[in-house]
Amino acid sequence: MRPRGARLQWQRPKAKCVEVAGKKIALFNLEGSFYAIDDTCTHRGGPLSEGEVSGEEVTCPWHGAVYNIKTGAVLGPPAPRGVASYPVRVQGADVEVEV
Give 29's strand partners.
34
* 82: contact with ligand FES by CB under 6 A: no
* 47: contact with ligand FES by CB under 6 A: no
* 72: contact with ligand FES by CB under 6 A: no
In the list 21, 44, 87, 90, the residue contacting ligand FES (rule: CB under 6 A) is: 44
CB 6 within 8 A of CB 14: no
DSSP-assigned states of every residue in 9-26: --SSSSEEEEEETTEEEE
- Count of CB atoms situated within 10 Å of the CB of 26: 26
Q: Which of residues 2-31 bind ligand FES (CB under 6 A)?
A: none
In the list 18, 58, 65, 88, the residue contacting ligand FES (rule: CB under 6 A) is: 65
